Amino acid sequence: MAARRQFMGGPGPRRLADELDRAWERWLGEGSPSPYDYGMTVEPHRQYVWSGARG
């Protein structure tokens, strides 16, 4: 992240700042998709989420 880093901590086994960094890098790597590029499909016997073309 280009922004100034600050410590983010809290209870639990995972570090929020590390999770955020990974998510941000993945989002940038995918071309910074908008919220409208994601979706969720619910069918009688399965549910799934998708990005880009409907899965």
For Cα atoms 14, 16, 17, give the angle at the middle one, nearest 5 degrees: 125
Give the model's pLDDT for residue 14: 81
Tell me which of 2-6, 7-11, 14-18, 44-48 is least confident.
2-6
For Cα atoms 13, 24, 26, give the angle at the middle one, nearest 5 degrees: 100
Task: Give the pTM.
Answer: 0.53
Give the model's pLDDT for residue 24: 93
Give the model's pLDDT for residue 12: 75
pLDDT in tens, 7-36: 666 677 888 888 999 999 998 998 998 988
Backbone angles phi, psi at 46, to 5 degrees: -165, 160
